Amino acid sequence: MNERSDDRVIIFDTTLRDGEQAPGCSMTLREKLRVATALRDLRVDVIEAGFAAASPGDFESVQAIAEEIKGPAICSLARCHPDDVEKAAAAVKGAEKSRIHVFVATSEIHRNLKLQMAKEEIIRRAVESVKQAREHCDDVEFSAEDASRTDFGYLTEVVQAVIEAGASTVNIPDTVGYTVPGEFYDLFSHLKQNVPNVDDIVLSVHCHDDLGMAVANSLAAVNAGARQVECTINGIGERAGNCSLEEVVMALKTRENFFNIGTAIDTTRLYPTSRLVSSITGMHVPRNKAVVGENAFAHEAGIHQHGMLKDASTYEIMKPEDVGVSRSNLVLGKHSGRHAFRERVEQLGFDVSDDDLQRAFEDFKELADRKKEVFDGDIEAIIMNAGDAQSGPWTIDELQISAGSGSIASAAVRLKHNDDSVVDEAAVGDGPVEAAFKAIERGVGFEVQLRNFEVRSVTMGDDAQGEVTVTVEYNGHSYRGNGVSTDIVEAGALAYLEVINRIARRREAGTDTSAPPANKDAAII
Ligand code: KIV
Ligand code: ZN
């Protein structure tokens, strides 16, 4: 059945497709399934799970999500090309509700400089692809790439033609983040007034944030009649990113008196979902980010605190609880038991299995021995890092570092492989972190190129944990890993080991290839 709605805005999440296309944001299949599960719990209407024709890995993840995630429609992107459409159809076949999303660029710039195709040829391809997709699936979306830079007259013709061919959703992207709210409102109003059969389909909006207006432009389109918004968690995506899901949803909710329309989203899941995506992608949410940033509900100025004490509505337009941020000041410590720990984990919005909770509780106890007080940020880090880092094949059994000003830094490491072998290695480096990385590389027997190394404090205080995110390149692919510890050299080594493990798993499974991942713009058309 098509996702149709006249009385609410359909939320189409593309974190796993447009979001994942952002540099350094690629995810493993297991991570994608975790995100897709969180998106289902958030109650998004459509999950764009990937671009099935882009690579065998993309195909596999769209297929796995289609088979496992029930509730939202599962969608695959496809260029207007017969092979792409067949691959998308095959990948989403197992879904409870499936959608095929075909796209082709329509603007003069893309027509002449990228596609070198005439207007008529583009319409012909679009119509053929929509018809082909309809042979597999009732729910077919068409996108006119770079629509915001396409002349109104031609875009109107394209939209009319794809609706006649059977598209049930027509998406109008601001692919390069160029439009402004007034202009986009006019474009959607024009389509509403000039495409004869437009009320039979859902008009959709898809904005990029190059000028910081993705959310404002999406809301302007909703005002003019768009009933689907395409967005990503934390606004991750190509270049400056996409329209942020949490911002657009909370704008519609908080200003319902203005928009007169809402969404089906469970807003209390916004914060945990944001944290999950940030931890998996390593794209940190700025403290001052709207809705989900750490400071979004912090009040510093005395006059504001005074107002807040009298009544929170003086300075707060949303309740933190409504987006899943709990106000509790409860601090756990080494005497806190499993029950208190579980309660706090649940209050923070995590839904973890008994086994994962047990593992996380052990990590918590170990941390509480090293740290006076364990804050919410620490617990979030424990839960988030209880994933891939533990799935081997390598673990660090011992790490010894020697460093100081004027002396050469050295590291000795004992690594264990899950086939029970043990390797001891040592290395020197420009500092303790480099020495540790070199020793690990020697131990596992392959080298990677470090591209980025970031450290952030998980909570406040001088015994706060440091979270290290590393991005490395190996055989043309980017890999990212996180590590958390009160000792940042150890956090760095854990993050490095996570990427090493990802690569080692691919090498052992024989799925490592030297070709870089396919890109949607490396197009045949
Ligand atoms: O930005 C864009 O135009 C896209 C389309 C493929 C929908 O991502
Ligand atoms: Zn996009």
372, with CB counted inside 10 A (0-12, 13-18, 19+), is exposed
Asked if 96 and 207 sit in the same domain, the reply is: yes
Whether 103 lines ligand 1, by a CB cut-off of 6 Å, is: yes
Asked if 214 and 80 sit in the same domain, the reply is: yes
Mean pLDDT along residues 380-409: 82
The structural domain count of the chain equals 3
* pLDDT at residue 514 tops 50: no
CA distance 448 to 453: 13
* CATH number for position 396: 3.30.160.270
Whether 237 lines ligand 1, by a CB cut-off of 6 Å, is: no
Asked if 261 and 321 sit in the same domain, the reply is: no
Contact 493, 396 (CB under 8 A): yes
The amino acid occupying position 445 is G
Whether 101 lines ligand 1, by a CB cut-off of 6 Å, is: no
22 part of a folded domain: yes
Q: Which helix (H) or strand (E) holds 9?
A: none
**CA–centroid distance, residue 112 to ligand 1 (Å):** 18
Going across the sheet that includes 466-474, the strands are: 449-457, 466-474, 477-485
Chain-wide mean pLDDT for the chain? 90
Residues contacting residue 487 through CB under 8 Å, at least 6 positions apart: 466
Mutate to test the pocket of ligand 1, among 103, 104, 142, 207 (most ligand atoms within 8 A of CB): 103
Cβ–Cβ contacts within 10 Å for residue 151, how many? 12
**CA–centroid distance, residue 145 to ligand 1 (Å):** 6
The amino acid occupying position 187 is L
Output DSSP code: residue 502. Answer: H
Q: What is the span of the domain harbouring residue 47?
A: 10-281
Most confident range, picked from 91-95, 339-343, 455-459: 91-95
- Cβ contacts of 405-409, under 8 Å, gap ≥ 24: 409/434, 409/435
* pLDDT at residue 116 tops 90: yes
Asked if 197 and 241 sit in the same domain, the reply is: yes
Q: Which helix (H) or strand (E) holds 37?
A: helix 29-42
CB burial string 468-505: b at 16+ within 10 A, e below: bbbbbebeebbbbbbbbbbebbbbbbbbbbbbbbbbbb
Share of residues in the chain with pLDDT > 70 (%): 93
Asked if 104 and 237 sit in the same domain, the reply is: yes
Residues contacting residue 391 through CB under 8 Å, at least 6 positions apart: 30, 501, 505
Mean pLDDT along residues 280-299: 85
Nearest CA to ligand 1 atom 7: 143
Contact 172, 204 (CB under 8 A): yes
Whether 18 lines ligand 1, by a CB cut-off of 6 Å, is: yes
288 part of a folded domain: no
Residue in the block written with tokens 């590590």: 483
Last residue of a domain, one of 334, 351, 382: 382
Asked if 375 and 408 sit in the same domain, the reply is: no
Q: Are strands 407-417 and 228-231 parallel, antiparallel or unpaired?
A: unpaired
Whether 145 lines ligand 1, by a CB cut-off of 6 Å, is: yes
pLDDT grade for 328, boundaries at 50, 70 and 90:
low
Tokens of 237: 């995506």
Mean pLDDT along residues 5-10: 82
* CATH number for position 59: 3.20.20.70
Q: Which atom of ligand 1 is nearest to the CA of 145?
A: 3
Nearest CA to ligand 1 atom 2: 175
pLDDT at residue 109, rounded to an integer: 96
* pLDDT at residue 86 tops 90: yes
521 part of a folded domain: no
pLDDT tens digits for range 29-50: 988 999 999 999 999 999 999 9
296 part of a folded domain: no
Looking at the CA of 176, which ligand is closest?
Answer: 1
Q: Where are the beta strands (DSSP E) in 150-217?
A: 169-174, 202-207
Reduce the DSSP state of residue 441 to 3 states and report it.
Answer: helix
Mean pLDDT along residues 354-367: 89
CA distance 336 to 484: 21
From 106-120, 291-305, 357-371, 476-490, the region with the lowest mean pLDDT: 291-305
113 part of a folded domain: yes
Mean pLDDT along residues 453-473: 85
Asked if 307 and 410 sit in the same domain, the reply is: no
Q: Are strands 407-417 and 394-404 parallel, antiparallel or unpaired?
A: antiparallel
Asked if 275 and 424 sit in the same domain, the reply is: no
Residue in the block written with tokens 């975790």: 34
Single out the residue of 226, 244, 222 nearest to residue 235, CA to CA: 244
Query: What sign results for the dihedral spanned by CA atoms 128, 134, 137, 140?
Result: positive
Residue in the block written with tokens 């609410």: 8
pLDDT grade for 405, boundaries at 50, 70 and 90:
confident
Output DSSP code: residue 110. Answer: I
Nearest CA to ligand 1 atom 1: 175
pLDDT tens digits for range 474-508: 988 878 888 889 899 999 999 999 899 988 887 87
178 part of a folded domain: yes
Single out the residue of 328, 379, 327 nearest to residue 350, CA to CA: 379
Radius of gyration, alpha carbons of the chain: 25
Q: Which atom of ligand 1 is nearest to the CA of 173?
A: 3
Q: Which atom of ligand 1 is nearest to the CA of 18?
A: 8
- Longest CA–CA span in the chain (Å) reads 77
pLDDT grade for 376, boundaries at 50, 70 and 90:
confident
Q: Are strands 140-145 and 466-474 parallel, antiparallel or unpaired?
A: unpaired
Nearest CA to ligand 1 atom 8: 18
* pLDDT at residue 378 tops 50: yes
Contact 168, 204 (CB under 8 A): no
Instruction: Give ion ligand 2 contacts, CB < 5 A.
Output: 18
pLDDT tens digits for range 196-208: 999 999 999 999 9
Q: Which atom of ligand 1 is nearest to the CA of 230?
A: 7
Asked if 273 and 250 sit in the same domain, the reply is: yes
Q: Any idea how long the chain is?
A: 525
CA distance 140 to 124: 17
Whether 490 lines ligand 1, by a CB cut-off of 6 Å, is: no
pLDDT tens digits for range 246-283: 999 999 999 999 999 999 999 999 999 998 999 888 88
pLDDT at residue 42, rounded to an integer: 97
Whether 173 lines ligand 1, by a CB cut-off of 6 Å, is: yes
* pLDDT at residue 515 tops 70: no
Q: Which atom of ligand 1 is nearest to the CA of 176?
A: 1
Mean pLDDT along residues 404-415: 91
Nearest CA to ligand 1 atom 5: 145
Asked if 454 and 358 sit in the same domain, the reply is: no
CA distance 451 to 453: 7
3 part of a folded domain: no
Whether 246 lines ligand 1, by a CB cut-off of 6 Å, is: no
Whether 3 lines ligand 1, by a CB cut-off of 6 Å, is: no
pLDDT grade for 330, boundaries at 50, 70 and 90:
low
Q: Which atom of ligand 1 is nearest to the CA of 103?
A: 6
Asked if 237 and 374 sit in the same domain, the reply is: no
pLDDT at residue 1, rounded to an integer: 39
Asked if 327 and 438 sit in the same domain, the reply is: no
Last residue of a domain, one of 337, 356, 382: 382
Contact 194, 186 (CB under 8 A): no
CA distance 15 to 237: 7
Mean pLDDT along residues 355-363: 89
523 part of a folded domain: no
Mean pLDDT along residues 434-459: 93
Contact 504, 447 (CB under 8 A): no
Reduce the DSSP state of residue 217 to 3 states and report it.
Answer: helix
Q: Which residue has the higher pLDDT, 493 or 378?
A: 493
* pLDDT at residue 517 tops 60: no
pLDDT at residue 520, rounded to an integer: 40
Whether 143 lines ligand 1, by a CB cut-off of 6 Å, is: yes
pLDDT at residue 225, rounded to an integer: 97
Share of residues in the chain with pLDDT > 90 (%): 66
